[in-house]
Amino acid sequence: KAGVTQTPRYLIKTRGQQVTLSCSPISGHRSVSWYQQTPGQGLQFLFEYFSETQRNKGNFPGRFSGRQFSNSRSEMNVSTLELGDSALYLCASAGLAGTDTQYFGPGTRLTVL
């Protein structure tokens, strides 16, 4: 079974631009969560989508948004990039129940110049 895939793996943008990251979950998984990982703040929950609906949301500004498609693939968008948005963005997929194991992808390393 293929794992969680994230594209692209690396991305360089400049301040003010926007960026879209993609995540393909494990086949059969309908929950996709996004996390931001930085040296200063650690791993922080962004949001979770389940069956195309946002089910949970973290404490991030509205510049961070996401969506999920009918095939469970998810995209995350960050508008008006700031230097502080430089981070590793991790996607995780899981099954129906909140007690299922979350499987993480390798992440997208975003650098904002």
Name the site residues for other proteins (rule: CB under 8 A): 4, 31, 33, 35, 42-45, 48, 55-56, 58, 90, 92, 94, 97-99, 101-107
Mention every residue, 6+ apart, whose C-beta is less than 8 A from residue 73: 22, 23, 24, 25, 32
Query: In the complex with other proteins, which residue's Cβ is closer, 17 or 51?
Result: 51
Query: In the complex with other proteins, which residue's Cβ is closer, 42 or 62?
Result: 42
3-state secondary structure of 76: strand
As measured in angstroms, the least distance from the Cβ of 80 to other proteins is: 25
Query: In the complex with other proteins, which residue's Cβ is closer, 73 or 103?
Result: 103
